[in-house]
Structure formats: structure tokens, C-alpha cells
């Protein structure tokens, strides 16, 4: 008889696990409350990157004059401005997300996975209660349960979203009018991405950051480049400014800072981090230990403290990325169903901040080297010397490589550039396969290409 796997949550942690489990012959049921694809597809990752695709076009257009492109109307008069139709952009965003969710649903059906629409909770380690949207309830017996319920935007009692002018990142796609003055609170990845996107869409943006600089968790040189670019393009960045409250009076939103200063705008996006969706699910009663903040404690093969119960994705707080959620989910199923499994290795995860320019990172960081956690040689090459970047009018950005002294094995890298998310792949491959800087340098790159700088940085790490 097949093993019965019940998955709670249909985001990347859940649906990727379902594919693996079905492929390995298990009988798989997903209980999902909001639509397969999860927040990743419906409200977070896919919508924000679709919005950013429009922002990128605007950013390219803003730099077009340097490349000799001018805009004129039919009469030949210089066009006065380019405008974004936010209603159209948001409609496209929502349609694309809905279509992707439907695609995922079809693939699950094709693989024989049962998808139940409703809310799941544990009734012990081997039972899931599904309260279905049609009002009925099902008790599902399971040989293994995967909890992949994701996380939700964090809000504060003093900063409550109203869905109109004070918004979480899930609510921005309902905007019908263009904000005249947008305030983004929070300068982590989500805050920086929205601030950069709306700035490029032509909206005045103030970014409220409690830290010294934007993106406190990222490479410091990369964050400095980004902050320079954002301020040069007209963004007001308020650093060391902690939000106390956000209030609304008619059309005016006021952000009050802890030092008493106030910032006013037409709209405010709250990017204050996420809280795991783990409350009232019977987890602790079933023996699942939760960490501080309610995240599920898991090991590197996604096991929780309860036998047969695994967890994957944002609800574990391990690294809040769709790619990591998906890998944790697959690892859980490979482990449970006895296939070959490699424990999760966070030092091989590549990630990207989708600002303009993008910031892509993999492996060990310069910060870890400076704190003595890791020994590595570091080379940084500014893109200003790269021939392709010059041709394209790209002035900001760099390539940074880290390799082990002695062996020359590449252990990390950072790319700050347009499309850095694509450029990081050779570095990611080198880190995953423990290639040396010499090996990375010896592979041909196209001339001229921005990736030529990756090979050049690797050549500079050559030691005799
Ligand atoms: C604005 C934004 C942009 C992002 N961009 C990127 C990006 O570009 N790249 C990237 O890799 N990551 C990105 N992320 C992170 C990424 O979205 C998450 O890491 C990913 O969604 C985690 O997947 P998951 O499966 O853990 O959870 P989710 O995608 O949140 O899915 C969980 C699902 O479970 C459902 N659920 C919750 N509780 C229950 C229950 N009790 N019963 C049934 N169903 C339940 C939820 O409704 C949801 O549908 C972004 C995040 C944000 C906020």
C-alpha cells in the first residue's frame, strides 16, 4: 500500500513536495486555504516581480537619452513624459498570478495529487483535520504530514493597514489611483524592492529605515551602491529612523518616528517582516516544538520534533525564499520516502534583491570573513570598467568573488548589476561544485558581456 502524505499549505514548500511525493509513489493530499501557489504566487513573489518588470522598463527608458533615444509625439514635438497606468499594471499582475496558480493546480492534478480547499490543523502527529470551504470537515490519516503554511505580513497595533492608504505588501495591487507621495516603512529586502519599483514607476518615495543603511542583511558594498542610486534618482532615505506609528486622516498618511519627527504622504506600505502561520494548528499538542516567534523548529532534512511531521518554508523561518521553501519540501519527501537526500546547505543558496540595480548573492559573505568566521580572499571589480556595461550605459555595480586561500575554491560572490539574478548563476555553480577561481576563469565568456567581469575577477584571484 502507498504511503499517505498530507501537506498543509499549497505554496512552494507544499506543492513542490507534493510533486516529489507523487513521483515516489505516495498518495498525496494538499489542504490549502488560499489557492495553490500560496503567498509566493498569489501575493508576494510573483506579483512583486511582475510589478518590477514594468518598473524595469521605466528604468531603462529613464536611461535611454544617454544612449541617444528621444521620445517625440506624432507632430515631432519632444514628449513631455512617460506615464504608468497603474490600474493596467495591477490588473496584469493579478491575472498573471491567478494564471500561474491555475497552472500549478493543473500540474498537481496531472500528478494525481488531491487538493482540498480549506484550513488544515493537526489532530496528533498522524492525523490532519481539514475544515473545508464548503463547510464540511474531513479527517485525513497520514503516514507523514508536511506543514508548509508560510507566513503573513507583520503589523503593529500602532500601524494598522486599512487596505486603502496604509497597506501591507499583499494589498498594493488593489491600488487604483497612483500614490502622489509614497512612504515605505522598512528597508529590508521587501521594503527596498517596493521603494525602488515605485520610484522607477515615477512616484516620489520616502524610505523609512531604522538602520544605518538600507538592506542591513546584505553585502555592505552592495547596499551602499543601491542607496547611492536610489538617492540620486530622487528617493528620500531616512536612516536611523524608527517608526512609532502610522495614522491616516482623510487623504493624508502620517508616519510618526520614535524621535517625534513626522513624515507625511498619500500612501504607506508596511514592510515590517513576517510572522509564521503556525497559531491554532494543534502543532505543539502534536509534539511539534516551536522556536521564538512561533517558527517551527526543523533539522536540515526538514524533520520537526514530532515523528512523521515535517515542515518546510517560511513557517520554519530558516531562510524566507521560495527556492528554499521548495527545497525544504522536496528534502522532506526524499527523506520520508527513502530516496537519496542531501541535507539543506544554506551556503549554496543564491538569492537576489530585485531593486534597480539588482543585488545577487551566493555563499559566504565578506561580513563573515571580516568577523573571522571564514577565511577567504576577496576581489571586487567595479562594472564601470566592463565594456558591455559602458555600451549599455550601466555605471553602477560590481562583481565580488570570495575564494579560499590555498585551494582557490570559490566560496561566495556578489553581483550588483541589472539582471544580476541571471549573472550570479556561474558563481552559484562554482560554489555548489567547489570549483576553483582558476576553473571559473578558464571557461569562455562572450565578448563583450557583463559576465566577462566574473571571469576577470576569477583571474585576479589566481595565485602561483
Ligand atoms: C513581497 C515579497 C516578495 C518576495 N519575492 C521573492 C522572490 O523574488 N524570490 C524568492 O525566492 N522569494 C521571495 N519571497 C519569499 C517567498 O514568497 C516565500 O519564501 C515563499 O512564499 C514561502 O513559501 P511557503 O510554501 O513556505 O509559503 P507560502 O507561499 O506562504 O504558502 C503557504 C500557503 O499555506 C496556506 N495556509 C496557511 N495556513 C494554512 C492552514 N492552516 N491550512 C491550509 N493552508 C494554509 C497559505 O494561505 C498559503 O497559501 C518574497 C516574499 C515577499 C513578502
| Per-residue pLDDT tens over the stretch 446-455 | 999 999 999 9
pLDDT > 80? residue 81: no
Whose alpha carbon is nearest atom 20 of ligand 1? 322
Whose alpha carbon is nearest atom 5 of ligand 1? 45
| pLDDT for 140 | 98
CA 313 to ligand 1: nearest atom? 26
Q: What percent of the chain has pLDDT over 70?
A: 100
pLDDT interval class at 217 (50, 70, 90): very high
Q: With DSSP H G I counted as helix, E B as strand and the rest as coil, what are the percentages for the chain, rounded to 5?
A: 35, 25, 40
CA 41 to ligand 1: nearest atom? 29
Question: What value does the mean pLDDT take over residues 292-301?
Answer: 97
Question: What value does the mean pLDDT take over residues 352-376?
Answer: 97
CA 153 to ligand 1: nearest atom? 53
Is residue 118 a contact partner of residue 133, using CB atoms and an 8 Å limit?
yes
- For the ranges 56-70, 305-319, 374-388, the lowest mean pLDDT is seen at 56-70
Question: What's the CA-to-centroid distance between 232 and ligand 1, angstroms?
Answer: 33
Question: What value does the mean pLDDT take over residues 56-70?
Answer: 93
Whose alpha carbon is nearest atom 26 of ligand 1? 313
Choose the residue to mutate in 115, 295, 317, 325 for probing ligand 1, maximizing ligand atoms within 8 Å of C-beta.
Answer: 325
Question: What's the CA-to-centroid distance between 321 and ligand 1, angstroms?
Answer: 8
Beta-strand ranges (E) seen in 26-157 are 27-32, 114-122, 127-132, 137-141, 144-147, 151-153
Question: What value does the mean pLDDT take over residues 175-199?
Answer: 95
pLDDT interval class at 107 (50, 70, 90): very high
Whose alpha carbon is nearest atom 12 of ligand 1? 321
pLDDT interval class at 169 (50, 70, 90): very high
Whose alpha carbon is nearest atom 30 of ligand 1? 150
pLDDT > 80? residue 464: no
Question: What's the CA-to-centroid distance between 339 and ligand 1, angstroms?
Answer: 26
This model's pTM is above 0.95: yes
Which alpha helices (H) appear in 71-219, and where do they start and end?
A: 86-110, 189-200
Q: Which residues line ligand 1 (CB under 6 A)?
A: 8-14, 31-34, 38-40, 44-45, 48-49, 119-121, 148-150, 169, 190, 277, 281, 313-315, 320-323, 325, 354
pLDDT > 90? residue 75: no
Question: What value does the mean pLDDT take over residues 102-129?
Answer: 98
Question: What value does the mean pLDDT take over residues 42-68?
Answer: 95
Question: What's the CA-to-centroid distance between 213 and ligand 1, angstroms?
Answer: 27
What is the C-alpha to C-alpha distance for residues 411 and 405, in angstroms, rounded to an integer?
Answer: 10
Residue of 195, 205, 214, 209 whose CA lies nearest to 258: 209
| pLDDT for 72 | 86
pLDDT > 80? residue 366: yes
| pLDDT for 409 | 98
pLDDT > 90? residue 71: no
Other beta carbons less than 10 A from residue 56's beta carbon: 18
| pLDDT for 394 | 96
What is the C-alpha to C-alpha distance for residues 451 and 376, in angstroms, rounded to an integer?
Answer: 22
pLDDT interval class at 422 (50, 70, 90): very high
pLDDT interval class at 37 (50, 70, 90): very high
pLDDT > 90? residue 79: no
- Give the residue, 77 or 233, on which the prediction is more confident: 233
Amino acid at each position: 500500500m502507498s504511503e499517505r502524505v498530507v501537506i498543509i499549505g499549497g505554496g512552494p514548500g507544499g506543492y513542490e513536495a507534493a510533486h516529489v511525493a507523487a513521483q515516489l509513489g505516495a498518495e498525496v493530499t494538499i489542504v490549502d486555504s488560499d489557492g495553490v501557489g500560496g503567498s509566493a504566487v498569489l501575493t508576494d513573489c510573483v506579483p512583486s516581480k511582475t510589478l518590477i518588470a514594468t518598473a524595469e522598463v521605466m528604468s531603462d527608458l529613464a536611461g535611454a537619452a544617454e544612449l541617444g533615444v528621444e521620445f517625440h509625439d506624432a507632430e515631432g514635438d519632444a514628449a513631455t513624459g512617460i506615464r504608468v497606468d497603474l490600474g493596467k499594471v495591477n490588473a496584469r499582475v493579478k491575472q498573471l498570478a491567478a494564471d500561474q496558480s491555475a497552472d500549478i493546480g493543473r500540474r498537481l492534478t496531472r500528478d494525481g495529487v488531491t487538493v482540498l480547499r480549506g484550513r488544515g490543523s493537526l489532530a496528533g502527529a498522524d492525523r490532519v483535520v481539514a475544515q473545508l470551504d464548503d463547510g464540511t470537515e474531513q479527517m485525513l490519516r497520514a503516514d507523514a504530514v508536511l506543514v508548509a503554511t508560510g507566513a503573513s505580513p507583520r503589523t503593529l497595533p500602532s500601524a494598522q493597514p486599512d487596505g486603502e492608504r496604509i497597506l501591507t505588501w499583499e494589498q498594493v495591487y488593489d491600488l487604483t489611483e497612483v500614490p502622489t507621495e509614497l512612504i515605505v516603512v522598512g528597508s529590508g529586502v521587501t521594503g527596498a524592492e517596493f521603494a525602488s519599483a515605485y520610484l522607477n514607476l515615477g512616484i516620489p518615495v520616502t524610505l523609512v529605515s531604522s538602520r544605518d543603511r538600507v538592506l542591513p542583511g546584505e553585502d555592505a558594498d552592495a547596499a551602499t551602491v543601491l542607496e547611492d542610486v536610489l538617492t540620486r534618482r530622487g528617493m528620500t532615505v531616512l536612516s536611523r529612523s524608527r517608526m512609532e506609528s502610522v495614522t491616516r486622516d482623510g487623504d493624508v498618511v502620517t508616519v510618526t518616528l520614535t524621535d517625534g519627527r513626522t513624515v507625511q504622504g498619500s500612501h504607506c506600505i508596511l514592510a515590517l517582516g513576517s510572522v509564521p502561520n503556525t497559531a491554532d494548528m494543534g502543532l505543539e499538542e502534536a509534539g511539534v516544538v516551536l522556536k521564538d516567534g512561533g517558527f517551527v523548529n526543523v533539522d536540515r532534512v526538514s524533520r520537526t520534533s514530532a515523528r512523521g511531521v515535517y515542515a518546510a518554508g517560511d513557517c520554519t523561518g530558516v531562510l524566507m525564499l521560495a527556492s528554499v521553501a521548495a527545497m525544504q519540501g522536496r528534502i522532506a519527501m526524499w527523506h520520508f520516502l527513502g530516496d537519496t537526500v542531501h541535507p539543506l546547505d544554506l551556503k549554496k543558496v543564491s538569492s537576489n534583491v530585485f531593486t534597480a540595480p539588482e543585488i545577487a548573492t551566493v555563499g559566504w559573505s565578506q561580513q563573515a570573513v571580516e568577523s573571522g568566521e571564514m577565511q577567504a580572499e576577496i576581489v571586487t571589480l567595479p562594472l564601470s570598467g566592463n565594456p558591455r556595461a559602458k555600451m549599455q550605459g550601466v555605471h553602477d555595480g560590481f562583481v565580488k568573488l570570495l575564494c579560499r586561500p590555498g585551494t582557490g575554491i570559490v566560496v561566495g560572490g556578489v553581483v550588483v548589476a541589472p539582471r544580476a539574478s541571471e549573472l550570479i548563476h556561474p558563481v552559484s555553480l562554482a560554489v555548489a561544485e567547489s570549483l576553483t577561481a582558476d576553473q571559473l576563469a578558464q571557461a569562455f565568456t562572450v565578448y563583450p558581456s557583463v559576465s566577462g567581469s566574473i571571469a576577470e575577477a576569477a583571474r585576479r584571484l589566481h595565485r602561483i
